[in-house]
Chains A and B, each alone.
Chain A
Amino acid sequence: MTFSKSLSGRTIFPGTTRGTALVSRMGISFYGGVDPETGIITEPGHDLEGQSLAGRILVFPSGKGSTVGSYILYRLQKNGHAPTAIVNADCETITAVGCIIAEIPCVDQVDLSQIKTGVPLTVNADQGKITLH
């Protein structure tokens, strides 16, 4: 490793994981906008439309839509297609509750402009710390 950079944020749900970033600049509606069986984003016109969030560190500004969306994250976790961590600018109720019930590490209040799709990350949600490798 020749270069690494850290970002700090706030713990929403603890846990530590390492993976590759999948970054959206748009809100995500888990209910209706994500296929609960595959983790593929289906919302027409979304900047991640057609991509799968399974096994990725999902980075997006904030959740939106129905509160049923929390259950979609739980479903994805049960069938092995959940993101391994979530990084938000402003976490709201739907994403927060989804991460708690699905036990997905989650950090918010992070400067997302520093993170690009494909970048390897370590998310230490216990300390609210994101490391870019």
Chain B
Amino acid sequence: MQLTPEEHAILKGKSGPAAQKALQILETLGRIYGAERMIPVSSVQISGVSYANLGDAGLEWLSEMAEGGGQACVFTTLNPAGMDIENYLQLGISEEFAVNQRRVLDAFQKMGVVTTCSCTPYLFGNLPRFGEQIAWAESSAVCYANAVLGARTNREGGPSALAAALTGRTPAYGYHLDENRLPTLHVRVEADIKNTPDFGALGKAIGDRIQTSSTGRVPYITGIDSASLEHLKSFCASIATFGGVALFHMPGVTPEAGSHSRPVEELALTQVDLDQAKTALTTASPDEIDFVSLGCPHLSLREIQRVATLLDGKRVTKEFWITTSRPVKGMADRMGYTAIIEAAGARFATDTCCVVAPIEGRFTAMATDSAKACYYAATKNKFKTSLLPFDDVVREATQ
């Protein structure tokens, strides 16, 4: 791997111990994956923020990097934390957890990382343009950035994303390079895909098949005519969760699709496959549901507006969490959506989500419109799940 004189100097400690450690990480990853050089990145998204996942080990390391003079030199935002930073007690999070979670956020803030605490940085200011080289963690956002925006990133982990933030660099391999962005498998969809659970189930159907196949990991998906931002964010979360997919192309929908030709190798998916994926994600019987959740990935303002419309004048009968980012919540507050939703008895869990909050075993069964949320509810939190259309999830909460 060719390093510049400046990179050699950073490796020798010229910019302090944190930058030195960061460049060691990047140089080693570059050697492992055969990169020829480092490239500059202009945007970073860091994962590994919840104290529930980091534990004392992660907290110690982040604190050491902050004390070692680590400073983000490109615009860097942060994944969801383990709690709503302002409203954690009402959500049943302990003071002890809160103290440690705040320490994690303090370390990031000290390093100049913007503590957005959201999986949807592209909704408020961290929005890379087509072709931009970036270093993002958070699998759903990685897939959204690569596929929907046409930016270029590998699937970074927490430490490698932080390393990119502190040096403004990443090794040039994988999805940064043209040759690795070519589609490898044509997925022909012959099913009616119209709402978020449909897109989520499609992500699972493709993801499950791609994971066990050796034909490649960049699907070229036909049969979808249109998709909203909310559809795509749900789809990206699902196909990344179930298949580890970091990039797909969808003619007529994603910006790079037109520059590639359709791969010969084909996988056809029918309505039966879609229905099977949905059935697999619905393990709860309707009378078992005691938890309702929307916001995986974090809700957009348009989705919160819809929740407010549906809940106006109603009363929820079950614990109902709406997970979103602080900036989006701020607009919901101004528009009066928050007041309507909270008057109905639902709760905002801002800055956090049901995947990373410490809620294991607290509920029996969760209703949601997100295939990704179903996966983590079952594997991490030991809940049964019910995958429903968005409006039906809200209705479930009031039944």
* Residues in A lying within 8 Å of B, measured CB to CB: 10, 12-13, 31, 36, 66-68, 70-72, 74-75, 78, 91-94, 96-97, 100-101, 108
Contact = CB atoms under 8 A, between A and B. Distances in A.
Given A68-B48, A97-B25, A74 B57 contact: yes
Interface in B232-266: none
Given A67-B157, A68-B54, A71-B54, A96 B48 contact: no
B112 interface: no
A12 B21 CA distance: 14
Given A96-B32, A97-B25, A68 B60 contact: no
B56 interface: yes
B160 A93 contact: yes
Contacts of B137: 67
B69 interface: no
A100 B53 contact: no
B28 A13 contact: yes
B136 to A, nearest CB: 13
B55 A71 contact: yes
A36 B55 contact: yes
A92 B32 contact: yes
**Which of the listed residues B28, B48, B60 has the most CB atoms from chain A within 10 Å of its own CB?**
B28
Contacts of B57: 36, 71-72, 74-75, 78
Contacts of A94: 157
B60 A70 contact: no
B47 interface: yes
Contacts of B54: 68, 71
Contacts of A97: 25, 28-29, 157, 159-160
B56 A93 contact: no
B203 interface: no
Contacts of B157: 67, 70, 93-94, 97
Given A71-B55, A71-B61, A97-B159, 18 more contacts: A12-B32, A13-B28, A31-B53, A36-B57, A66-B53, A67-B158, A67-B160, A68-B48, A68-B53, A68-B54, A68-B55, A71-B58, A74-B60, A75-B55, A75-B57, A75-B60, A91-B32, A96-B32
Most chain B Cβ neighbours within 10 Å, of A12, A13, A75, A91: A75
A92 B31 CA distance: 11
B28 A12 contact: yes
A75 B53 CA distance: 13
Contacts of A67: 47-48, 137, 157-160
Q: How large is the interface on B (under 10, 10 to 19, 20 to 34, 35 or more residues)?
A: 20 to 34
Report the 9 A-B pairs with minimum CB-CB distance, sorted nearest first: A67-B157, A75-B57, A71-B58, A71-B57, A97-B159, A74-B61, A68-B53, A100-B24, A100-B25
A72 B48 CA distance: 13
29 contacts: A10-B31, A12-B28, A13-B28, A31-B53, A36-B55, A67-B158, A67-B159, A68-B54, A71-B58, A71-B158, A74-B57, A75-B55, A75-B56, A75-B57, A75-B60, A78-B60, A92-B32, A93-B160, A94-B157, A96-B25, A96-B28, A96-B32, A97-B25, A97-B157, A97-B159, A97-B160, A100-B25, A101-B159, A108-B32
A68 B104 CA distance: 14
B29 A93 contact: yes
A71 B55 CA distance: 9
B28 A100 contact: yes
Nearest to A101: B61
B49 to A, nearest CB: 11
Contacts of B160: 67, 93, 97
Contacts of A70: 157-159
A98 to B, nearest CB: 9
Contacts of B32: 12, 91-93, 96, 108
Contacts of A31: 53
Residue from A67, A75, A92, A108 whose CB has the most chain B CB atoms within 10 Å: A67
Nearest to B157: A67
Contacts of B159: 67, 70-71, 97, 101
A41 B54 CA distance: 19
